[in-house]
Structure 1
Amino acid sequence: MGKTTVIHHAPLVGYPDDKLYTVRVIDGVIDGIEEEVEGKYINGYDKASVEEIDLAGKEWLSPSMIDWHVHTKLAALHSNRLNLSNCQSASEVFESVKQALNDPKYDTSLERNLVGINMRNSNWTDEDLFSLEKMNELSIERPIFLLYNGYHSMWCNSLALEVGGYGSSLNHKGHLVEQEAFDMFPKLTTANNQVVDNWILQESKKAAAMGVTEIVDLEMEHNIVQWQRRYAAGNDYLRIHVGMYTPHIQDAIDLGLTSGDDVPHTDGLIKIGPYKIVTDGSLGSQTAFCHDAYPGTKDNHGIYYYPPESLSEMIETGLKHNFKFAVHAIGDYANHLTLQTISKASSKPRIGSTIEHAQLLDIEKDLPIFKDLGLIASIQPSHLVDDRDLCHKFWPGREHRAYAFKSIVDAGIPIKLGSDAPIAPMNPWEAMAVCITRAGQGDEKNPFIEAEILDLETAWKASTSNGKTRLEVGDRADLCILQSDPLKLDAAGLRAMKVNGTMLGGRWTHKTF
């Protein structure tokens, strides 16, 4: 007989709160949930061979958490880069970079390039200070990359442009947007795989400590071989769904793999994820593709990457090989064109396919199509906090259609929550807190479009790894031990949640006992 764990005197999230239960885990599966009767614990099993845990009625047992949108490598690199999120102007950015150039934390012996991240420009009045000349004034000896929040655009000095293959003869102005910025990502770091893999291992442990057992990794590189290497080196803290982009999808097809299949040599922990397609940009970089032009411009509607026939070909490739989809669409026009294209495909997308972000919507016209296609809205609530000022600046008069969580749910469309880490930190408790308040910590009395507040139970089910409110017999033993019942908490309580144990498939990936 395989490993057995029995958890006694356990209050269960989603069950009557005046009762205690015994939960039995055998070989990574929840084998039994029984309301406790005095002296009845494991029903005939030899206690000597069983791991027994007594919660004494003081800690709650629940399903574990999932994050449906993560850029794992980028998130690991994020913690080793210059965070510019608190800068209130371009001038402050330049001053922060000057200080960082003399800070041992960013010494060139650790990383030759200096990468600044998370510039938020919604309230800047001096953004026109940015230029290639100004970037070169910061340094002509070290490549400098300064990224806007969302990672859809960046500023570079001349050395950074050279890293990206832009010679002086190309007369580049130093501002990279969308595909140019994406193409630069693999060149932002000089750290080797061993260093980066260790950083990713630390991020995996942090995730486990928050109760997370599963993520959808949408990193923009060939991740099959990357995760095989990390798993072989001992990174087994999370279930990973490896997203596939167009340049990599043929590799999976050649291996005979599709969404949900096991990545070879990872013992079923790592699976092929969805086919990721990016159709437009982001609101902060004014590249999200919208029906209306951005304020102050005559014809800037953002960027839509593909004509309908090209996107249609990509959709048909995914359908032919039975892939789920994860289609990035932020602007309302991008969502409209994407939904229209998918609706004209040879068949409906595979169950479990998502529209990623779905931030700006034409609620009346597009939500019925969204529902009819059986798509999931994979949303990142914490972006709402970051983007609310951007919505007022770049989407005035349409804010009621931004981050329309309740409207999406009321239309009968399933939702799943994620972080888009590192664009926002991976933290399912923060994501749920934002859902039920439409505000950041300390600003709960100032919700962004109060009518779109989501109820806690819906947010909870969109966050759990089993997609349910509670644990049930037959579920994988992916579970958490929590300090309190999350379904009885307000936003402050969710944000303060302590996870005392995280189990993945019957083994502990985090525990404080």
Structure 2
Amino acid sequence: MKCIANANIYVERDTFAQAMLIDPTGCIVCVGDEAFVRSQMPAETTIVDAHGKTIVPGFNDSHLHLLMSGANLCELDLKTADSIETLVRLGRDHLERHQPPAGTVIHGFGWNQERFDDRRMPTRDDLDRISTTHPIVFERTCCHIAVCNGLALEMAGIDASTPDPRGGRIDRVDGRPTGILRENTLDRVRPLYQTLDVETKARRLEAAMRHAASFGITSVQSCDLYGNDWKSTWDAFDRVLAKRPAVRVYHQFHFVESALLDDFFARGLAMGSGNAFNRVGPLKLFVDGSLGARTALLRSPYRDDPSTSGVATLSDEALKSLIRKAAQHQTGVIVHAIGDGAVEMTLDAFEQTDPSGDNPLRNGIVHVQITDTSQLQRLRERHLFAYVQPIFLDADIGIVADRVGTELASTSYAFGTLIRSGVPTSFGTDSPIESMNPFENMYCAATRRPLNATEGAAFVPKERIDLSAALDAYTIEGARASFEELRKGRLKAGYVADFAVLDRNIFALEPEQWRRTRVLLTVLAGRATYRSSDCGQDFFRFNDESLCGIG
């Protein structure tokens, strides 16, 4: 066994311990003061000196996209673009550096027109300045809009005669597609860059998992199983997680086509199937887009663009039908809903498909950003789960009042209300939409300010939360969403030894200092999965290959 001693271990609100005993299967035997834990040690126990460092449960990102995150680590990153000209330069630099053959698809991610001086969307003509011999697809940071050059549009079969699909839109000027594709229209171009072999997917997943571990993340709830090639994605996960897992994965799978969903269930992949490191979770559905793209579905027109109220990407009847089908297979459903119109639609669907309101399958809403007080109350009354991303405030604080008006903005991003009213609320980042960094996420939740603002007025300050609430949303509440609150998410006897060692005692610091916190060591099931370069091998001496085993 291993005994971690001389530590500052967060157990739960206002409760800390100094030592922890871990058995060879990677489970916690006991936690408490050093004298008590030492009294429980067998003779062969190895004592590990934590040098007074703070230890917290491993973080659980309750909604992200691992495969896309891995792609973002090795593809063209456009998040630094502050103008159309910079976007074009980044594309040209990429071609100059890599010299891909003509016809190679160039995929980039992360641009945001709100960061451009003129706030203009890029067009096909802008991307044609990068290349006309390479199909180019640049996705907006929200993944609900993409801009394509002329060749990519041609390869996707999109021209002036192409009709808008249900739940999508092709932007046009005088009938000519501008290159901007919205929501379900992206399904026409995604096959250009998302059709990958198992080996490539496995490499990208490994990169994303290592990246997650560097932030102290030990569990993720990831939306990667979708489309016609979902089986190769499952095989890639199986390959990576069967050898030396860096995180535990709980899948949020996405199908709206009956044939694909039926095939998925026919293979025995209902919620709960799998193992401790690779397990199937709920069906993930989308009913709207994003606020930044003005495709989030509102009940009233956008204040800064009255021509639109957003986009419903799924009909009411289709949503209810999919919820019922999933329930027949004892599988829950979580729904992407950002606008108040989408939240209302989702609440209605859950009420009509589960009149009892008991919510035994732990259905929930992902994002739940734009809300009024009655919708927040309905979430609580229906025992629904909320999957929120406080880090979204970093980009949205500057636009939300313009988009929806000050009154509705004042009851939105209501993380404090959700948590204090008892709604099971877990934190995620939607990576690669935002960074996986949990400390930045918690900073936004506690301060209600953008990352670059250390002072000034907070956005709806009554919704701020404290550190314990933020940590619990990132640990035990994520575990609750996957029916695992009795085995992970706390550092207690009987729980798995998933934890992170931090470089500072965040409990003694103001939120402004949390975001600079670094992880020294990440441990999964008693095995080290990440060790900082600043953390010498003599510090916190664990055998990185096999700390205690796999549990």
Q: TM-score, normalized by length of structure 2?
A: 0.83
Instruction: Provide, for residues 443-479 of structure 1, a one-character-per-residue CA deviation record: whole Å limited to 9, x for no partner.
Output: 0213222222122211110111556885111111212
Kindly indicate whether residue 99 of structure 2 is the aligned counterpart of residue 107 of structure 1: yes
Partners of 2:225 and 2:251 within 8 A in 1: no
Q: Structure 1's 145 and 291: CA in aligned 2 closer, same or farther, altered over 3 A?
A: same
Tell me what 2:507 maps to.
487
Q: Residue 6 in 1 paired to residue 11 in 2?
A: no
Q: Report matched runs for 1:60-79 at 5 Å.
A: 60-79=54-73
Find the counterpart in structure 1 of residue 379 from structure 2. Answer: 370
Deviation string for 1:212-236 (max 9, x for gaps)?
A: 1110111252656424334424351
CA distance in 2 between partners of 1:55 and 1:140 (Å): 57
| Cα separation, 1, equivalents of 2:417 and 2:180 | 37
* Cα distance per residue 1:14-33 (max 9 Å; x no partner): 47789632423342211122
- 1:505 maps to a residue whose letter is A
Q: Which residue of 1 aligns with 2:464?
A: 453
- Give yes or no for contact 1:112–1:143 (8 Å, CA) kept in 2: yes
C-alpha spacing 1:19/1:79, structure 2 compared with 1 (3 Å): closer
Provide, for residues 134-174 of structure 1, a one-character-per-residue CA deviation record: whole Å limited to 9, x for no partner.
43343211111122220101111121123334368746442
Task: Find the aligned partners of 1:219 and 1:433 in 2 and give their Cα distance.
Answer: 27
**Which residue matches 2:152?**
160
User: Which of residues 116, 123, 131 in structure 2 aligns to 1:139?
Assistant: 131
Specify the alignment match of 1:258 in structure 2: 270
> What SS is found at the alignment partner of 1:31?
strand
Q: Is 2:32 aligned against 1:55?
A: no
In structure 1, the partner of 2:495 is 475
Pairing 1:289-368 to 2, within 5 Å after superposition? 289-347=297-355, 348=357, 349-363=359-373, 365-368=374-377
When structure 1 is superposed on structure 2, of 13-22 and 413-422 the one drifting more is 13-22
State, as a whole percentage, how many aligned pairs show the same letter: 23
Cα separation, partners in 2 of 1:505 and 1:282, compared to 1, 3 Å: same
Amino acid at match of 1:77: A
Q: Which amino acid aligns with 1:203?
A: A
- The answer to whether the Cα contact below 8 Å between 1:322 and 1:350 also exists between their aligned partners in 2 is no
Q: Is the alpha carbon distance of 1:361 and 1:432 closer, same or farther for their aligned partners in structure 2, counting shifts above 3 Å? A: same
Query: Partners of 2:445 and 2:48 in 1: how far apart?
Result: 33
Number of residue pairs matched by the alignment: 499
The DSSP-based 3-state class of the residue aligned with 1:237 is coil
Shift of the alpha carbon at 1:275? 0.5
* Cα deviation code 1:221-253 (max 9, x no counterpart): 265642433442435111111122124432331
1:90 equivalent in structure 2: 84
Matched, 1:188 2:193: yes
Residue 229 of structure 1: SS of its match in structure 2? helix
Q: What residue is the counterpart of 1:418 in the other structure?
A: 428
Between the aligned partners of 2:307 and 2:402, the Cα distance in structure 1 is 17
Report the CA distance between 1:46 and its aligned residue: 3.6
CA RMSD of the aligned region, Å?
A: 2.8
Q: Quick check: 234-243 or 425-434, which moved more?
A: 234-243
Name which of structure 1's ranges 268-277 and 201-210 shifts more when overlaid on structure 2.
201-210
In structure 2, what is the Cα distance between the partners aligned to 1:205 and 1:34?
A: 31
1:381 partner amino acid: P
1:493-508 → structure 2 map (5 Å cutoff): 493-508=513-528
The two structures have a TM-score, normalised by structure 1, of: 0.89
State the alpha-carbon separation in 2 of the partners of residues 503 and 130 from structure 1: 43
| C-alpha displacement of 1:288 | 0.3
**Which of 446, 450, 470 pairs up with 1:436?**
446
Amino acid across the alignment from 2:236: R
Q: Distance in 2 between matches of 1:111 and 1:43?
A: 65
Gaps of 5+ in 2: 163-175, 538-551
Task: Write out per-residue CA displacement over residues 84-121 of structure 1, whole angstroms, 9 at most, x where no aligned residue.
Answer: 3333333443344344433x1x4316992222322212
Structure 1 residues 257-282: Cα deviation after superposition (integer angstroms, max 9, x where no partner): 321221xxxx5310001110101111
Which whole-Å CA distance do the structure 2 matches of 1:318 and 1:291 have between them? 27
Name the CA distance, whole Å, in 2 between partners of 1:399 and 1:129: 24
SS of 2:295's equivalent? Answer: coil
Cα offset for 1:332? 0.6
2:228 paired with 1:228: no
Counterpart secondary structure, 1:122 = helix
- Secondary structure at the counterpart of residue 360 of structure 1: coil
One-letter amino acid of the counterpart of residue 177, structure 1: R
| Bigger mean CA offset, 414-423 vs 110-119 | 110-119
Q: Which amino acid aligns with 2:519?
A: V
**How many Å apart are 1:366 and its aligned residue?**
0.9
Report deviation, 1:122. Answer: 2.3
